[in-house]
Amino acid sequence: MLILQRMAMATSSSFLSIPLLKTPSFLSPIKHCVSPLSSEFRALALYGGRNGVSTSSAVATEAQVSTQDDKLKDAKMEVTDKPEKVVLPTNESSESLLRIRHTCAHVMAMAVQKLFPDAKVTIGPWIENGFYYDFDMEPLTDKELKRIKKEMDRIIGRNLPLIREEVSRDEAHRRITALNEPYKLEILDSIKEDPITIYHIGDEWWDLCAGPHVEKTGKINRKAVELESIAGAYWRGDEKKPMLQRIYGTAWESEEQLKAYLHFKAEAKRRDHRRLGQVLDLFSLQNDAGGGLVFWHPKGAIVRHVIEDLWKKIHIERGYDLLYTPHVAKANLWQISGHLDYYRENMYDQMNVEDELYQLRPMNCPYHILVYKRKRHSYHEFPIRVAELGTVYRYELSGSLHGLFRVRGFTQDDAHIFCLEDQIKDEIRGVLDLTEELLLQFGFSNYEVNLSTRPEKAVGDDDIWVKATSALRDALDDKGWSYQIDEGGGAFYGPKIDLKIEDALGRKWQCSTIQVDFNLPQRFDITYVDSNSEKKRPIMVHRAVLGSLERFFGVLIEHYAGDFPLWLSPVQAHVLPVTDTQLDYCKEVTNKLKANGIRGELCQGERLPKLIRNSEMQKIPLMAVVGAKEVETGTVTVRSRFGGDLGTMPIDDFVSTIKSAIESKASI
């Protein structure tokens, strides 16, 4: 069964350096720059210079106003001076950083209990970019975060020692009971090893903890610590247990590192797909329909259509047969597959249809097996490759939903390969090649690859595990990709390859997965007839390249910061009349663009400066400005979002230039 990693928003913690800006590789730095002079004013200046239109006073005023609003906020993040790189350590690369973050969690808890004596403490670990601590207390405000940070600064400034103490379980229980800390008693009960370790901050505060910590609070740089946010969190992640107040903080070794991290965070916020999805009208999640259910708006749907067409084209070229299968099936199918035994908590409740139980599908695998089983197969037919953009439904707690990254209904780019043992390596290599071909279309060329091997509990004979794992390893070696071995990290039904892509900010996102499966072929008793006319069991390979269309679309939005390349942009060109007198000609231009497969739109009803400003705000790649002289000469004056002013050209040249750029996936 294909179990993709949870669609969590969290990315890999392995980035080592953060540039103050990283431009997507498909854009040259010069083309992506935004000069201090507003782009709509430059477009008007070009048009006016060629056509005798004044660009003084009122026009300049409108341009100046536009450079003071949200566009300027976006533009200042796009300046392409050579970025300064600041190396950011990770918890894995720097033990001192890990100690700082862990100690900050304790210092924060001490500060909270000094300011709010009734607050009960729970747990406070270090995390990827800092730390957090959960408290049972009244809801906090941002103003109170500032008070907590000031108290933390005082504790750090006192340079108090961190003292480790070992005590018996009974002694720990006595001390915790005396403090009336019920959550700590529960934590104590979960600790299986003796003796119990306690860390003291001076002689004023202590916590159950195994460490490690800095020697003294003064080792923490106060200017490299910041409290970031407050969130609700259920105790032990159980919605039936109390809701706690979680305070998140970030901590670094130096103020310079903190500034680099905050810049990275600000850029990530600017690119947040939830914000851009709303601003650019790409998608929405409607409360009236329910959480985690995605509505693709016309512009987002066009991007999805382009992605799906590309996906289908590449798969057909590489020998896959496309499938469409139902969204529901009898519950018994999921009993056979094992999903009801191993995956029930992620599945929706069953529905009764004419006294039979049906189930919304959480995965596509059983359906593809049923298609395989529709007839007998000979070894001559292998490999058999089937693929589907199949929508699945998985139950997620409302608190875990996050934009397009964590949803309840999503479409997997799912495929299954049925092959012989001696075909595994070649098929895996073929999947790796397909994966690279598809991801490169979107500008993703840096990958982190992991090969996960047999876990302690697994199905299948040792011999086939060895063969399958060797085949995956050989395919990766043959491909020339570097990879890490995750010993024992495979699924119980077979070894797997996982691939993460790196976006424009250097973040890594779980994307592609390739999994060999010895389990489902046995559960469904699928067979083929070999050269000796004997029934044998085929090997089954699950694979997904993009993961899910929803999540991949979210990654694309953030990777491009909403500035989709020309070939992928939902609207590729705006046609802008100087006055209503040119509307008929503009309609002819727009119709000609559409007739040539170009996604063009006619914009009207505003003065030209406002039309240009709106196009910039909507991140439209091309603008074709039309005035009286363009109508007279059968031309358009063109401005590219990435390439600047392109001059005046005949309509046919404009069309052919766009078509050529789309075909080569280049910018203009």
* Contact status, residue 97 vs residue 219, Cβ threshold 8 Å: no
Catalytic residue among 542, 551, 559, 613: 542
Catalytic residue among 394, 429, 559, 574: 394
Q: Quick check: is 102 catalytic?
A: no
Eight-state DSSP code of residue 92: T
Q: Looking at beta carbons, which pairs linking 57-60 to residues 24 or more positions away fall under 8 Å?
A: 59/609
Eight-state DSSP code of residue 320: P
Q: Quick check: is 412 catalytic?
A: yes
Catalytic residue among 134, 207, 413, 414: 414
Q: Looking at beta carbons, which pairs linking 49-52 to residues 24 or more positions away fall under 8 Å?
A: 50/629, 50/637, 50/647, 50/648, 51/627, 51/628, 51/629, 51/630, 51/637, 52/629
Catalytic residue among 113, 245, 359, 412: 412
Contacts (Cβ under 8 Å, ≥6 apart) of 196: 166, 167, 168, 169, 171, 172, 188, 208
Q: Which phi and psi (to 5°) does residue 593 adopt? A: -60, -50
Q: Quick check: is 365 catalytic?
A: yes
Q: Which phi and psi (to 5°) does residue 652 adopt? A: -60, -40
Q: Quick check: is 278 catalytic?
A: no
Q: Quick check: is 394 catalytic?
A: yes
* Contact status, residue 17 vs residue 85, Cβ threshold 8 Å: yes
Eight-state DSSP code of residue 236: G
CA separation for the pair 658, 650 (Å, rounded): 13
CA separation for the pair 76, 397 (Å, rounded): 38
Q: Quick check: is 441 catalytic?
A: no
CA separation for the pair 249, 103 (Å, rounded): 12
Q: Quick check: is 305 catalytic?
A: no
**Which sign, positive or negative, has the C-alpha torsion 469, 472, 476, 477?**
positive
* Contact status, residue 544 vs residue 2, Cβ threshold 8 Å: yes
Distances (CA, A) of 230 to 11, 133, 438: 20, 10, 39
Catalytic residue among 102, 106, 263, 496: 496
Eight-state DSSP code of residue 141: -
**CA 131, chain centre distance (Å):** 22
Eight-state DSSP code of residue 468: H
* Contact status, residue 567 vs residue 661, Cβ threshold 8 Å: yes
Catalytic residue among 273, 339, 368, 416: 416
Helix (H, G, I), strand (E, B) or coil at 647: strand
Contacts (Cβ under 8 Å, ≥6 apart) of 440: none
Catalytic residue among 104, 365, 419, 603: 365
Active centre residues (catalytic) = 365, 394, 412, 414, 416, 496, 542
